[in-house]
Amino acid sequence: MTSPGTAPFRIRIFADGAEVGAMRKRYREGFVRGFTTNPTLMNKAGLRDYAGFAREVLAVIKDLPISFEVFSDDFAEMERQALLISSWGPNVNVKIPITNTQGAPALPVIKSLLAKNVKLNITAILTREQWLGVRELMRPADDVIISIFAGRIADTGVDPVPMMTQAVEDFRALPQAHILWASPREALNVYQAEACGCHIITATDDLISKVQTLRGKSLADYSLDTVKMFHNDAKKAGFQL
């Protein structure tokens, strides 16, 4: 029988980042089941050639979904970028922010792209009103990731679990709608997202390592490891009283 620490997750874990080396490593491991990027992560990684970065990644990752985001604030240009990004590969989902920087809903662009059968990832969603707006546009065959930023919801003091559970229910009749728990803050969020029925959760490289290392670990053993860490660090620091 498979132990709790090794049983496969039902939820799909997507690696969130823009470091090509880390993405290749995670792909080769076979643990993650998709990838997401965004302009902030790409800028942090020092990337300046967007298309070049995408080509490098897609040359290796050909059989798992990967999301690349538009960066224009103008809706017409946003759609042009989306069509271009979509052409990069059959495993590409185009990330469209739920609004532009002026707060204008991106629903007309989303509707137009869905009519052209573009696979989308609607990002930066934090309210039910926002995801229901997308829900109203979708047909059963539309392949759309609904990225709800549960971590940011939690940052405001609001429990995201009821909201994520509601989102799963709201999209239940759409078989190609994938509810994604975005911006997790800790390993517990992976288990919470799975319990809510979410289809996907994104995770940074550090968080993926934590989940891989600690899933099913004995709390007594973890306590001992913690004590040893404190003791060893005190020795390294040369503390004396």
pLDDT of 3: 39
The pLDDT of residue 216 is above 70: yes
Domain membership flag for residue 5: no
The DSSP string of 47-97 is: ---HHHHHHHHHTT--SS-EEEE---SSHHHHHHHHHHHHTT-TTEEEEEE
Domain membership flag for residue 55: yes
pLDDT of 90: 97
Which domain covers residue 104, as residue numbers? 12-237
pLDDT digits (tens, 9 = 90+) for 143-161: 999 999 999 999 999 999 9
Within 10 angstroms of residue 89's Cβ, the number of other Cβ atoms is 17
- Catalytic annotation present for 95: yes
The tokens for 77 are: 């240009």
Domain membership flag for residue 2: no
Once rounded to an integer, what is the mean pLDDT over residues 73-95?
98
* Beta-ladder partners of 219: none
The tokens for 61 are: 């990752």
- Identify the CATH number of the domain in which residue 122 sits: 3.20.20.70
**Could you say which DSSP state residue 179 is in?**
E
Q: What is the pTM of this model?
A: 0.94
Catalytic residue among 25, 44, 95, 217: 95
Domain membership flag for residue 176: yes
Residues with Cβ within 8 Å of 111's Cβ and at least 6 positions away in sequence, in order, are 137
Once rounded to an integer, what is the mean pLDDT over residues 52-56?
97
Q: Where is average pLDDT lowest: 4-13, 115-124, 161-170, 206-215?
A: 4-13
What's the total number of domains in the chain?
Answer: 1
